[in-house]
Amino acid sequence: MFKKEGNIVENKDEGRMRASFMNYPPACMKDTKTGKMSGIFVDILQKVCDNLGLILEWTEEVSWASQIEGLDSDRYDIVGSPVWANPTRGKLATLSIPVYYSPIGVFVRANENRFSSNLGLINNPNVRIGTIDGESADLIARTDFPKATRILSAQTTDFSQILHDLANNKCDVFFTEPYFANEFLINNRDTIKNIAETNPIRLYGNCYMIKRNSFQQQQMLNVTIQGLIDIGCVDKVIAEYVPNPRSFFRTVNIFKEIEKNIYSNNVVNNFIMGDMGDKFEFNNAQNFTLVNKSNVVNSFNKVKEQFDEETANVIQQIAEIIEKSENAAAAKLFEGFNEEISKPKPKKTVLQSFWSTLSSVLPILSSTVSIVEKVMKIIN
C-alpha cells in the first residue's frame, strides 16, 4: 500500500497514495471539464499526504458495491471519498477515524403524517422505502424495517433521483443526510420534510477506507487526521464547503452542538445522556467522568445474566479504556451500545453497527484480542 516502485517504509520520499473516489458532494467532486478534484475529503486527504510526504494520485471512479473489491485487487490504496462505518465494511476493510459525522434523517413527502410520531409504523409492507444498492441507507431499511417494501435503485443512482421519486410518490420514505435534502429543496421547495430532524435515525462517521488488515497504514492515517482535527484544520475545510453548520457534526464540536440543543438530548439511536448514578460495583468507577456509570452497570448485569461474569467484564474493560482515552465520541457511542444491550431484545445488527463505529473511533479496541473475542460473543 502507498507505494511507487517500492514499499512506503523502504522508500517513503518516493511514495504515493493511489485514491479511488465516488462523486459525493460536498466531500468529493470531480470537474468533468478540467478533471480537477475538490471537496472536504479531497482537501483533507491532500493535507494528510503532504504531512506524510506522499504524492496523492486520483485513479478511478468506483461504485458503492465495487469499492472493497478494488482495494482487495490492489487497483488503488484508499477510497478517498467518505464511507460510513458499518459491520460489512468493518469485516471486509479497514477504516480510518471519522473526519466528521453525518446525521441521517427520515424524509417523507411534505403532506405525509403517518410516521411523524412513530417511526415503527414504517415497518409495514404497504410502506415503500427508496434505497440504493450497496449504500448504508439500504442497510437501515433491511435491519430496522424488514417488513417494509424496499424500492431498490442501481448503485450509480444519485441521491437527488430518489428524492425526486419521493416527492413524486414513487416511494414513501428515504433515509439520507440533511445536506442532500437541503440541496434538493432549493429548487423543490415544500415537497419533502425530515420527520427525524431532532432525533436522527443514525449518526455515521465519515471515514476513509483502506484494505483489510492494513493496521500500520490505518495508524498513519489516524494520527495524521487527528492532528488536523486538533489544530482546527478540518473545521476550516468543512466551513469552506458547507456554510450550514447543521448539515454535519464536526468531530470536535459534536457534543457542544447537542448541548446547544441544535439537536435534542435524545440523539441518534437513543444516545441518552442518562442518570450518572452513584451506585457502581467496579473499583475504578468513581474516577469515570465521560462514561455513563449506571449505563455500564446495567449492561454488565445483562451480559453477566445472559453469558457469564468473565464475558461481562469486557464492558468494564472497554469503559476504562474509553475513560483513559478521553475520547468523548467513543464514550457516546459506547453509551448507545450499552443501552441497546440493556433492552429486553437487543438487535444484533444494531450492536454490530455500534461496535464497528466505536472500534474505528478508538482503534485500540479492535486491536486488543481479548476484547474482540468477548465482544464478538455478545454481538453475534
Q: What is the pLDDT of residue 91?
A: 83
> Are the C-beta atoms of 109 and 192 separated by less than 8 Å?
yes
Give the distance between the most distant pair of CA atoms in the chain.
Answer: 64
Question: What are the pLDDT digits (tens) for 303-337?
Answer: 999 899 888 899 988 988 888 887 777 888 888 88
Tell me the average pLDDT across 296-301. Answer: 90
Q: What is the pLDDT of residue 336?
A: 86
Q: What is the pLDDT of residue 3?
A: 52
Compute the 3-state secondary structure of the chain and give helix, strand, coil in percent, each to the nearest 5. Answer: 45, 20, 35
What DSSP string runs through 23-80?
-BTTTBEE-TTT--EESHHHHHHHHHHHHHT-EEEEEEE--TTTHHHHHHTTS-SEEE
> What is the spatial distance between Cα 338 and Cα 296, in angstroms, rounded to a whole number?
6
> What is the spatial distance between Cα 354 and Cα 379, in angstroms, rounded to a whole number?
10
Q: What is the pLDDT of residue 194?
A: 94
User: Looking at the whole model, is its pTM more than 0.85?
Assistant: no
Q: What is the pLDDT of residue 288?
A: 59
Identify the residue whose cell numbers are 435534502. 181
CA dist list (Å): 79 to 61, 70, 122, 226, 250: 10, 9, 33, 18, 21
Q: What is the pLDDT of residue 39?
A: 97
What DSSP string runs through 240-283?
HH---TTSSEETTTHHHHHHTTSS-SSBTTTB------S---ST
- Of 56-60, 97-101, 298-302, 369-373, the one with minimum mean pLDDT is 369-373
Question: What are the pLDDT digits (tens) for 156-202?
Answer: 888 899 999 999 999 999 999 999 998 999 999 999 999 998 778 88
Q: What is the pLDDT of residue 269?
A: 34
> Are the C-beta atoms of 140 and 349 separated by less than 8 Å?
no
Q: Which three cell numbers stand for residue 45?
A: 486527504
Question: What are the pLDDT digits (tens) for 132-161?
Answer: 987 878 989 999 999 999 999 998 888 899
pLDDT above 70: residue 102: yes
95 by Cβ neighbours in 10 Å (0-12 / 13-18 / 19+) ranks as: buried
Q: Beta strands of 189-257 (E only): which ranges? A: 192-194, 202-211, 249-250
- Of 17-21, 155-159, 238-242, 255-259, the one with minimum mean pLDDT is 255-259
Q: Which three cell numbers stand for residue 20?
A: 479511488
Question: What are the pLDDT digits (tens) for 336-369?
Answer: 889 989 998 888 878 877 887 787 677 778 667 7
Question: What are the pLDDT digits (tens) for 276-297?
Answer: 333 334 444 445 567 888 888 8
Q: What is the pLDDT of residue 256?
A: 40
Q: What is the pLDDT of residue 30?
A: 96
Q: What is the pLDDT of residue 367?
A: 62
HSE-up of residue 220 (Cα within 13 Å, Cβ side): 22
12 or 20, which is more confident? Answer: 20
The whole-chain average pLDDT of the chain stands at 82
Nearest Cα neighbor of 15 from 208, 206, 207, 220 is 220
Question: What are the pLDDT digits (tens) for 214-243?
Answer: 988 998 998 899 888 878 899 899 989 987
Q: What is the pLDDT of residue 105?
A: 92
Q: For a pLDDT cut of 70, what percent of the chain falls above it? A: 84
Q: What is the pLDDT of residue 126?
A: 97
Q: Tell me the sheet residues that pair with 175.
A: 106
- What the chain holds in terms of domains, given with CATH numbers, is 12-100+205-250 (3.40.190.10), 101-202 (3.40.190.10), 269-379 (no CATH)
Helix, coil or strand: residue 151:
strand
Q: What crossing angle do the helices spanning 159-167 and 178-187 adopt, rounded to 10°?
A: 60
